[in-house]
Structures are given as C-alpha cells and as structure tokens.
Amino acid sequence: MALNAIDLTVDRSPIDLLSGYSLEITAKDGEALRSAAPRIPPGTSISVTALPDEDVADRLAAIRLVRELGFEPIPHISATAVPSAEALDDYLAAVTGQAGVTRCFVIAGDLATPRGPYCDSSALIASGALERHGIRAVGVGGHPDGHPHMTPEECWSVLAAKCAAISERGMTPFVVTQFAFDGVHIAEWLGDLRRRGITAEVRLGIPGPAGIKTLLRFAARCGVGASASVLARYGISLGKLLGSAGPDKLVDLLRSRLDASHQPVGLHFYPFGGMEKTIAWITDYKDRT
C-alpha cells in the first residue's frame, strides 16, 4: 500500500465514559455504601478518603467493608499527615493484609507543617514503602482548575514527574482529578495532558447530584472554579440556589468532546448528595443514553 493511502486518522467515535466508573467515600459512609451495593457493579473501584478528623480504625473498617462487599478498595494516603515511616509501614501492612489492597491514591494533604518525614506525595512515593508492601498501582491528583500553590506549568511538570517515578518503581500510575463544573475546560485539560505524553489512565472527577448550596460549598472548600458562566453551563443559576442539580449537562458535554485520543479515561464520582442519589443518577443516565 502506498504511504499516502494509509489511514492515519484518529478514531473520533464516542467512548463509554460510564463503563467502569469509580466512586469516593469517607469512613462515615459505610452504611450508605452497604445500602447502595446491590446497584453498583461488582469490582467497582471505591476510594476511601483520608480526612484529618477521622479515626484510623474507622478508616480501616471502611476499607475492609469495600472489599467485603465485592468492590476494589483504594485507600487515600495523606503524606503530610503520616507521623513516621513506621506508621506508614503499619498502615500499608494493615490495608494490604486485611483488605487485599493493591492500589492506593497519594496526596500531599492540607497540613502546612508535616507531622512526619513526608513533605508531599512525591516524597512518600520515593520512600519505597508502597512497592515494598505490594502496591501495584498508585493514583495522583490532577487539577483541571489549577492548583493554589503552583503555576499551570508547575502542575504539569510535577504530574509528569510523579507518573514517571511511579513507573520507574515498577508500579502503574493513574490520575484522579478534582471535581469540576466546566466540561469545556476539563476536555481541554485532558487533551493537553495527552499531547504532553502522559499516557496514564485518568479518572475525571464528577460531582454527584446534590443540593446547589452543597455543591457550591464543596466548590469553595476545594478551590473549584465556579463562576456564573461556568455554573450556567453546568445547569446552576446563582439567582436560584434552592433545589438540586445533577451532572447531566457536564457528562453530555464530555461524551461529545472526548474520543479515542483521550483514552484511557473514565469518570470518578464524588457523591456529595449521598451515595444512593449518585448511584440512582448513574443508573438512570445509562438507561437514557
């Protein structure tokens, strides 16, 4: 075949973003997860957050429950909250031994002064503790709306360096983004990520259906862009704060803009309005599309 006859076009057909979605819970969400479990596909990845006011025993119980219910637990580890290398070893031994954990998600955390030897997620990854305890995949954060302490270019270089460090240690990197409302911006960010040669799987953070005031409260807490124009595209009017909103328009837009060139990619749901509401929305949306 002549060179000019070779088909070099990219497959632009729509991709199934909702196949193999993932979810996020806190240590307090165990009963809600148990109630919703029959409607969640077996093997679904479920992240368990690491909040500063939680008891570690409660977090471990939630991680064990995820496994007992037939799902894949992904514990969050907040690097600056880890008091010592010994404490990290103990925690990793517990989650791997008690819940068969093979994947985790590492963040820096919100502490200005680290409690122990890890000043950020990169330092924890470099410690060697994760692979020593049999962790096979490590998630790191992506920030379509930017990061309060880094320039956009710094965000890209740090993300690329983390993914490379994880791969060099024999583990598989994946990226989970902070939730966002602006589907246009999310799609552009993901396209930029692929053009920069970062090939890791990406989970795009999606807010589950919730009260509008609840969504805005979490957006303010997490530094998520929520201008009037962005919220309007999402389906929220700042003049009408009563009622609730779901991610229909956001997911519609992402499905229309993402294609094979953005793969591997899926959705990661933050159930701010409750697990049952989020699973009901996912089920209904899949039935309608």
Determine the pLDDT at residue 10.
55
Asked if 79 and 106 touch (Cβ cutoff 8 Å), the reply is: yes
Return the bridge partners of 74, or none.
47
> The domain 15-288: what is its CATH number?
3.20.20.220
The answer to whether 53 and 36 are in contact (CB under 8 A) is no
Alpha carbon distance 82, 107 (integer Å): 11
Q: Check pLDDT > 70 for residue 124.
A: yes
* Mean pLDDT (whole number) for 95-115: 95
For residue 8, how many other CB atoms are within 10 A of its CB? 6
Task: Count the alpha carbons within 13 Å of 57 in the hemisphere toward its beta carbon.
Answer: 0
Q: In whole angstroms, what is the distance from residue 4 CA to residue 44 CA?
A: 44
Phi, psi of 270 (to 5 degrees): -100, 105
145-199 confidence digits (pLDDT tens): 888 778 889 999 999 999 999 999 999 999 999 988 899 999 999 999 999 999 9
Q: Break the chain into its structural domains and give their ranges.
A: 15-288
Give the mean pLDDT of 23-47: 97
7: Cα separation from own chain's centroid? 35
Distance linking the first and last C-alpha atoms of the chain: 40
Tokens 């919100």 sit on residue: 110
How much is the average pLDDT of 258-286? 95
pTM above 0.75, yes or no: yes
Q: Alpha-carbon distance 127 to 195, whole Å?
A: 30
Rounded Cα distance between 136 and 150, Å, is 28
Q: What CA–CA distance (Å, rounded) separates 47 from 104?
A: 8
pLDDT for the residue numbered 111: 87
pLDDT band at 138 (very low <50, low <70, confident <90, very high): very high
